[in-house]
Structure 1
Amino acid sequence: MKAVVAVLDTGIVMSEDAVREEEQDEVINQKLEGISFNSALELERYLRICTFTSMSSLLQQLNTLLPIFRSRVGALLFLFSALLSRGLEAIQADRDDPGQSLVTSPFGHASQEIVNLLICGHAVPEVFDGNMDVGGGMTVKGIPSKVEVGFLTLLEAFKYCTVGQFLKRPKWPIWVVGSESHYTVLFALQNNIQDENELEDRERRIRQAFDAHDQSGGGGFIVASSVRQLLHDMDIIMPMDMLESLCANEFVVWNELWQALHQIDKSKGGLKSADSTGGVKQFELYHFNGIAKTVGNGSSVQQRPRLTKLRVSVPPKWTPEEYMMDYKPSASANDATGGSMGVDTQKSVKEEPAQHAPIVDCIRTRWERASCNWVGDAPSIV
């Protein structure tokens, strides 16, 4: 391994008495008050680069440098460290348009390339899985492989993009959440919230294969000529009359294929099963917004970051008939299926009507038709 850490050579010597974080931060902030970073040239005077080839020595040094990374220049040093660790030549090779700025003006927002670099180690510009050949010898780069921490975005709820399965289903139940102007964090304490039954796993893999043929940038359709290859790759035996009907037009959208697969028994590679709808899934998510918000505390008002617990309920998957009717399961139907956390589902539906905020739209890009509840003010993603 090779890691590069950008630090400031400011001559700061931490007092042995400054053992608490607050005391360490105060020492750093006082020292930085007299230093100007109004230009790149001024910053360059103090910038120093440290290279590590050992994980243990890297972690030891980072632990020592935590106070400076918590300071007003910490985010910039962290970005420099990530860019240099990847390598500037590799960064430019990752990008589709190396001429564009990695930080957008005028507010200094991180580009998607920076977000992807921090999540997957590659400064690629897109959020779908893998690369996409758009013709003319041009390839658009997405997320190359599975990641440990995922990404969800409000822009997908607005139909501006489609986040791939690599980012939606990370190794750990932690997601960076992007809005139009800010990033927050969504996470769970239980990793099993991402568990799938056999048919859910099968549907996910078929959708991944479908997306691999989707050259529209996440539009949700493929050319009809690609359907046969997809069926072959996924070992799906589709009756000829159904296949001809499905491919009657030039393009096939995912919903059409999905409905057709629910008419094919799972023994033939389809999604038809007597118990394919499963039960209501209920779990808890936590949302953290690091920007200080006004919080009422009795007679006083405070400015502080906010952590919100969300109770999430995901109803059974649609059957094709329910999909056509925009079906919404009744409270009695939900109660019959039970919940994965042992929650009384009927009580949840009747006594806790679903609440809405933009974070719910983001959650629904991962769990369709999810409903959420929380106590107090709505969680904010801005």
Structure 2
Amino acid sequence: MSDTNKEVVDLVWGRPGGGGVPASLFRRWSQGFVFSEAERSALEQFEGGPCAVIAPVQAFLLKNILFNTEGSNWKDISEEEQRTVLCSTLSEILESACLSKTQAFHLATLPRAKTTDSSDITDSHPEPESSQPTDTPTALAAEELGFERFHSVIQKRTLRTDAELREVVLSLYDTWKNKFGVLLFLYSVILTKGIENIKNEIEDTSEPLIDPVYGHGSQSLINLLVTGHAVSNVWDGDRECSGMSRHGIGMEIGAQLLFLFFLLLKVGAFLKSPKFPIWILGSETHLSVFFTKEMALVAPESPSEQARRVFQTFDPEGKIIKKGRISSIVYVCDVNLMKSKLDPEGLGIILLGQFLQEFFPDQDSVIPDSFPVYHYNGLKQSNHNEKVSYVEGTALVMGFEDPMVRTDDTPVKRCLQTKWPYIELLWTTERSPSLN
């Protein structure tokens, strides 16, 4: 195994003991990017673990199908469209990981010749190749390739321009579909970003990108795929915690496409401001994707919506501000006026409805009352009849009044309530979609 390959292995898998990486763990991550037969624009995930790569790729892929492709039936794309949109998506993520236009791209590939040179090869001027399985002895013997053997034959191809990258990535479509496609793409992102650059961004370099016990991708790995930065946190910018600097998402990421909702994590506003209405939902063990075509969801906040959000920082229910906190929210207003108009009985409370009527009487939310939504979960066992397909539903975004409709209280809804506290979801299926 070459020194470069070993560095990648140590970064991704850690330095396991004498037993090495468990064969079952390596097997779970050994899959390609495979489209579902039931949903032609959805990628399948065979076992737990690689959702850390597959879900971000699926989210960017949906963005490209829904918003960058004209005249296409996004739910029934052709095989040629599958090839084009997947390779375009992989190229886009690699471009995001590249630090500057002057730096090269690096692809991790398997050898196409009938030799097994274990050295790390850099081809500065590669010819576009057709990486068919029949041309690759290691692909033919994929079932027999164990962890050590697989990593000993990985080669590195260097590409200098965006155009060259996209051409070669497209030519390697069969490689991305084959048994090790997900891992080869992950290694390509790491090599393009630079191993030392990733180490400088990760908070704890002793923790591998893939958990050695459960096989889940780390937050740094997910952030690397989503934003191009392998930081360990999802808050805005850097923070000082107990005298130590903790790295979060930088301001330049505010214009990124996606936004992670985690049940157990506080997500910063930069990741809450995507360009497109596509969100990665996270449970404790799995990643899935929630999306819609309703662009109004990512429009800039109106003053009344901003006021509502500020109001909710003082009251999680978003309905009432109690005595002692009134002056915090009205520090720019006349307190006596607030008391006389919004709290005439001197109860020491302000209702959200009265507050919005007083200061924003003519402003309505730009978000429609209802719109179609979809949920994607790549695991077969998490889908009806074990067929990976989008679950379709209708979202109702209510006002501050008590909603008239009460739907399920599932993890999907609780995730979305961190963005829209009064959202209700009506799914067309008998059971709500699963986050796990």
Cα distance in 2 for residues equivalent to 1:87 and 1:196: 35
Superposition RMSD in Å:
3.9
- For the pair 1:118 / 2:225, whether they are aligned, the reply is yes
Aligned twin of 1:381:
435
- Summarize the Cα distance change of 1:58–1:257 in structure 2 as closer, same or farther, 3 Å threshold: farther
Aligned twin of 2:294:
190
- Summarize the Cα distance change of 1:293–1:125 in structure 2 as closer, same or farther, 3 Å threshold: same
SS of the residue corresponding to residue 390 of structure 2 reads strand
- For the pair 1:273 / 2:360, whether they are aligned, the reply is yes
- For the pair 1:146 / 2:274, whether they are aligned, the reply is no
Once the two structures are superposed, residues 65-117 of structure 1 have per-residue CA deviations (whole angstroms, 9 ceiling, x without a partner) of: 12212222112111111111111111111122122221112232100000001
Aligned twin of 1:165:
269
Cα distance in 2 for residues equivalent to 1:30 and 1:57: 24
- For the pair 1:315 / 2:421, whether they are aligned, the reply is no
Aligned with residue 43 of structure 1, among 128, 132, 150: 150
How far apart are 1:313 and its partner, in Å?
Answer: 0.4
Once the two structures are superposed, residues 159-178 of structure 1 have per-residue CA deviations (whole angstroms, 9 ceiling, x without a partner) of: x3211122222111112221
* Native 8 Å contact 2:304 2:364 kept in 1: no
Aligned twin of 2:332:
237
Aligned with residue 11 of structure 1, among 88, 91, 113: 113
- For the pair 1:105 / 2:212, whether they are aligned, the reply is yes
* Native 8 Å contact 2:133 2:140 kept in 1: no
* Native 8 Å contact 2:304 2:360 kept in 1: no
SS of the residue corresponding to residue 171 of structure 2 reads helix
- Summarize the Cα distance change of 1:107–1:74 in structure 2 as closer, same or farther, 3 Å threshold: farther
**Structure with greater proportional strand content:** 1
Cα distance in 2 for residues equivalent to 1:189 and 1:103: 33
- Summarize the Cα distance change of 1:70–1:274 in structure 2 as closer, same or farther, 3 Å threshold: same
- For the pair 1:64 / 2:171, whether they are aligned, the reply is yes
AA in 1 matched with 2:371: F
- For the pair 1:290 / 2:398, whether they are aligned, the reply is no
Cα distance in 2 for residues equivalent to 1:133 and 1:240: 34
How far apart are 1:311 and its partner, in Å?
Answer: 0.5
AA in 2 matched with 1:309: E
Cα distance in 2 for residues equivalent to 1:147 and 1:295: 32
Once the two structures are superposed, residues 302-345 of structure 1 have per-residue CA deviations (whole angstroms, 9 ceiling, x without a partner) of: 532121112100101x3xxxxxxxx5144xxxxxxxxxxxxxxx
Cα distance in 1 for residues equivalent to 2:141 and 2:350: 58
Structure 2: gaps (5+ residues): 1-100, 115-131, 315-323, 339-347
Q: Determine what percentage of the aligned residue pairs are the same residue.
A: 25
SS of the residue corresponding to residue 377 of structure 2 reads strand
SS of the residue corresponding to residue 290 of structure 1 reads coil
Cα distance in 2 for residues equivalent to 1:142 and 1:381: 25
* Native 8 Å contact 1:154 1:358 kept in 2: no
- Summarize the Cα distance change of 1:110–1:242 in structure 2 as closer, same or farther, 3 Å threshold: farther
Could you say which structure has the greater relative contact order, defined with CA pairs below 8 angstroms and 6 or more residues apart? Answer: 2
Deviates more, 1:195-204 or 1:371-380: 195-204
TM-score of the two chains, using structure 2 as the length reference: 0.58
